[in-house]
């Protein structure tokens, strides 16, 4: 997405280096997680259903997390029945520029990052502004498993079994005031723990935003886990946004600030390159990135000889979200 990518070539280019890199850097998920193991872990997760609320919060505490505590998320009707990528895929192929621009950098450099204790400041046009600890945020919250497709603007995709809850639940709790139109999000700024922030690759801290109706949509979640375990640091611990019908860069990680505003907030990628990255960033196979096509995507874990998959409008969530954009020119509001 940056200069680095420009030099290496746009996604979709198939130079020899790119082919070799794909061949050896991306084993198929089946090669990493044998099917029986995957199915067994799924069964275990189902067996754990019910232990939510206090148990979930306890599972997010550092000691417990290290012991592999399960969050006990309940299944959701919003999940896709597509097969999720392996835990290995999801936690070793990441975009988290705070830890570096390479896909393996976040896993490599995130171990020193400390996601506890954590709090999120919620302010702007809300009835009850304040700073909430992660425990406050999760108290009384029903954690759900949301298996979503994730489509990166770079034209790769995955299927991720997130654990989270609707952002709306939190916004309702703090009370959205009548003038609010957008929600702005900010990632933590800790250059001492995040080596990527010591370089001006982006204008830190990372910022994102959603229109209020997008933020209140039932598909929009705050995620605190993956595969029924607390989020690994490289995935945006301890709390991140997931908006499955938009390009992945909207799904901001390690959130410390949420602000309700009356106008569209500045966001990191659209400020860095407004021609390439819009505020809306809805997945749209008909609107190409200026440097590559968005018509198809490479599913991580599909294997070397697999065909690219067609990209679906709104990443396959058109039935749920197309109404939000009725009457809008999606080429203009990209």
Window contacting ligand MTE (CB under 6 A); options: 9-17, 29-37, 64-72, 94-102: 94-102
Tokens of 241: 């946004």
Window contacting ligand MTE (CB under 6 A); options: 15-23, 170-178, 243-251, 318-326: 243-251
Query: Contact with ligand MTE (CB under 6 A): which of 29, 56, 76, 95?
Result: 95
Q: Residue 212: phi, psi to the nearest 5?
A: -60, -40
Site for ligand MTE in 47-66 (CB under 6 A): none
Tokens of 234: 């490289």
Q: Are 76 and 144 in contact (CB under 8 A)?
A: yes
Site for ligand MTE in 247-266 (CB under 6 A): 248-249, 251-254
Q: Which is nearer to ligand MTE, 109 or 253 (CB)?
A: 253
- Does position 155 bind ligand MTE by CB under 6 A? no
Number of residues that bind ligand MTE (CB under 6 A): 16
**Residue in the block written with tokens 């999801």:** 90
Beta bridge partners of 292: 289
- Calpha distance 221→246 (Å, rounded): 13
- Does position 152 bind ligand MTE by CB under 6 A? yes
- Does position 159 bind ligand MTE by CB under 6 A? no
Q: Do you know the residue count of the chain?
A: 334
Q: Are 135 and 58 in contact (CB under 8 A)?
A: no
- Does position 89 bind ligand MTE by CB under 6 A? no
Tokens of 70: 């399960």
Site for ligand MTE in 176-235 (CB under 6 A): 187, 206, 235
Minimum Å gap between C-beta 289 and ligand MTE is 12
- Calpha distance 28→304 (Å, rounded): 8
Q: Which is nearer to ligand MTE, 52 or 92 (CB)?
A: 92
Query: Contact with ligand MTE (CB under 6 A): which of 26, 89, 98, 228?
Result: 98
- Calpha distance 294→118 (Å, rounded): 37
The helix/strand/coil state of 295 is: coil
Instruction: Provide the binding-site residues for ligand MTE, judged by CB under 6 A.
Output: 94-98, 150, 152, 187, 206, 235, 248-249, 251-254
């Amino acid at each position: 997405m940056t200069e680095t990518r420009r030099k290496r070539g746009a996604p979709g280019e198939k130079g020899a280096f790119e082919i070799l890199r794909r061949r050896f850097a991306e084993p198929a998920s089946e090669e990493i997680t044998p099917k029986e193991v995957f199915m067994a872990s799924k069964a275990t997760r189902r067996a754990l259903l019910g232990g939510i609320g206090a148990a979930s919060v306890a599972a997010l505490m550092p000691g417990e997390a290290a012991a592999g505590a399960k969050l006990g998320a309940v299944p959701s009707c919003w999940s896709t029945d597509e097969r999720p990528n392996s835990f290995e895929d999801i936690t070793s192929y990441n975009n988290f520029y705070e830890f570096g621009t390479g896909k393996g950098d976040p896993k490599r450099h995130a171990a020193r990052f400390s996601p506890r204790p954590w709090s999120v400041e919620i302010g702007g046009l809300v009835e009850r502004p304040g700073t909430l600890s992660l425990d406050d945020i999760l108290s009384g919250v029903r954690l759900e498993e949301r298996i979503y497709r994730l489509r990166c603007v770079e034209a790769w995709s995955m299927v991720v079994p997130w654990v989270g809850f609707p952002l709306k639940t939190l916004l309702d709790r703090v009370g959205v005031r009548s003038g609010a139109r957008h929600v702005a999000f900010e990632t933590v700024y800790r250059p001492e723990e995040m080596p990527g922030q010591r370089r001006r690759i982006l204008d830190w801290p990372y910022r994102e935003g959603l229109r209020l109706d997008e933020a209140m949509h039932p598909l929009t979640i705050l995620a605190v886990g993956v595969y029924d375990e607390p989020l690994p640091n490289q995935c945006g611990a301890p709390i991140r946004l997931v908006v499955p019908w938009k390009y992945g860069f909207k799904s901001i990680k390690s959130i410390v600030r949420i602000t309700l505003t009356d106008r569209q907030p500045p966001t990191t990628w659209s400020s860095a390159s407004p021609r390439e990255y819009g505020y809306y960033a809805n997945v749209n196979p008909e609107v190409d990135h200026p440097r590559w096509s968005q018509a198809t995507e490479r599913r991580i874990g599909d294997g070397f000889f697999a065909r690219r998959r067609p990209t679906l409008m709104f990443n396959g969530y058109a039935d749920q979200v197309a109404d939000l954009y009725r009457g809008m020119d999606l080429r203009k509001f990209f």
